[in-house]
Amino acid sequence: MTIANRPNTRADGRTAAQLRPVSFQLGVQKWAEGSCIIAFGDTRVLCAATIADRVPPHLRGKGTGWVTAEYSMLPRATAERTDRESVKGKLGGRTHEIQRLIGRSLRDAVDLTRLGERTITVDCDVLQADGGTRTASITGGYVALAAAMISHGMDRHLVARVAAISVGLVGGEALLDLDYSEDSRADVDFNVVGTDGGTFVEVQGTAEGKPFDRAAMDGLMDLASSGLEQLFAAQAEILATVRR
């Protein structure tokens, strides 16, 4: 399978290689050390970072820190109401997988060995879902994390910017930043987490329809890299406004 990059516009008017409008609103929670609402088009996620002077039991006395995350989706974030997982009494498999992915991704942004025995918890709550909630959570989660560290004089422990984006093949065409209507009918769907140093934290790729070949994968990764570069620039711009 090869990738076709045609100049056709999508349902929302974007070209194949164009991100949805991305925005950040900082300081949306009074008590959080760092917070923001990130919007990827109609997907909106509230991200809040908490700094605590403690670490998990397995790290006590080792002089190193920890970054972890929690993820949830509000009942009416989707077209039909979904029950809160707290009502069900346990996390669903999808939620567990996503919050572990967010935590793994954000740990690569911080030098944990210099953080001291502190834990930074990043809470990501989906206010509205239209595809890409995990990629928005990682991208906005980094902004909340970095804002918390900058405002508390710990920005010297930040070692990389981290962001995430989706790419996929829809009707044989390579598309950047899939919304729900595209994601739900994609033949191939990738979520790519990267750093501003040009390295990748995680790549999740699945053939929902026909298998894909190496050329298709390389093309999708190049497309994802172009989207990540734009997200890193947006992160840098908003974080430049944070005061200590």
Q: What percent of the chain has pLDDT over 70?
A: 97
Per residue in 129-146, pLDDT (tens digit) is 999 999 999 999 999 999
Per residue in 11-46, pLDDT (tens digit) is 999 999 999 999 999 999 999 999 999 999 999 999
User: Mean pLDDT over residues 117-121, rounded?
Assistant: 97
CA distance 165 to 195: 12
What the block records as the tokens of 148 is: 């918390």
Contact in structure between 73 and 133 (CB atoms under 8 Å): yes
Contact in structure between 137 and 129 (CB atoms under 8 Å): no
Helix (H) / strand (E) containing 190: strand 188-195
Which residue in 35, 79, 19, 90 sits closest to 233, CA to CA?
A: 19
CB atoms inside a 10 Å sphere around CB 184? 12
For all residues of the chain together, what is the average pLDDT? 93
Name the one residue in this structure whose structure tokens are 């990748």. 200
Per residue in 91-109, pLDDT (tens digit) is 788 899 999 999 999 999 9
pTM exceeding the 0.85 threshold for the entire prediction: yes
Contacts of 114 (CB under 8 A, 6+ apart): 156, 157
Residue 119 has pLDDT above 70, yes or no: yes
Per residue in 138-183, pLDDT (tens digit) is 999 999 999 999 999 999 999 999 999 999 999 999 999 999 999 9
